[in-house]
Amino acid sequence: MRYRLVVAAFVGAAFVVSACDDPAPTELAPDTTPSLYATPKKAIPVTGIYDVRHPTIPGRVNLLNPECVTVDAVAGMLYFKNCMTLGTSTGDLVGDFLFTIDGWQDLATGVGKSHAHHAMTGCHADLGCGTFEGVLKAEHAPGGQTTVTASGHGTGDFHTLQIRMVMVEQGSTSIFDWEGVIF
């Protein structure tokens, strides 16, 4: 038994000594693996016009599924549930913006809030074509003017990029001026 304890002690000591030896330093090769979350060296400002007017009904938003809107006449409220709007963008990002919106609006004052998921598909002269997908929040001011903040991650040629933008409605026209940054 004593022999086994002595052998175990020597084996344990050898293991501890070998584990404490520092390995010889080696030079690491630079990582050249592309990152899905890489950003360009500088932010690119972008601006444009977003038009979400109905193509045949003046004064109406282009809803792909108008049944998504419900009106509570007693409370004087308008509710949006999975409403899909489609509009076109011109400017630095040319293409279509599709929003799926949930929210509410007071019919008497025009005040309301909504949030949405979006897919902004388009082309940029220097960056190519792709889609930015993300979320947005909208606030409807008294009188109906809407301000939107949005962010999204890119796919296609935009796969390493992100966008942050603000859209401000021109009165209550369903036409928005937008500006943002792609980084």
* CATH, residue 49: 2.40.350
Q: What total of structural domains would you count in the chain?
A: 1
Rounded Cα–Cα distance for residues 134 and 124 (Å): 18
User: What does the pLDDT look like over 114-158, one tens digit per residue?
Assistant: 999 999 999 999 999 999 999 999 999 987 689 999 999 999 999
Structural domain of residue 148, as residue ranges? 44-182
C-alpha distances (whole Å) from 108 to each of 15, 112, 141, 156, 176 are 80, 11, 12, 43, 23
Rounded Cα–Cα distance for residues 130 and 158 (Å): 5
Does any domain span residue 10? no
Q: Is the pLDDT of residue 103 over 90?
A: yes
Rounded Cα–Cα distance for residues 96 and 98 (Å): 6
**Average pLDDT value for the chain:** 83
pTM (2 decimals)? Answer: 0.74
Does any domain span residue 169? yes
Does any domain span residue 38? no
Q: What per-residue confidence (pLDDT) applies to 144?
A: 67
Mean of pLDDT values over 53-69: 91
Q: What per-residue confidence (pLDDT) applies to 171?
A: 86
| Beta bridge partners of residue 112, listed in sequence order | 105, 140
Q: What secondary structure letter does DSSP report for 59?
A: T
Does any domain span residue 31? no
Q: What per-residue confidence (pLDDT) applies to 59?
A: 80
User: What does the pLDDT look like over 3-59, one tens digit per residue?
Assistant: 444 444 444 444 444 445 544 444 444 444 444 444 455 799 999 999 999 988 888
Dihedral pair phi/psi, residue 171, rounded to 5°: 70, -130
Does any domain span residue 103? yes
Does any domain span residue 86? yes
Does any domain span residue 33? no
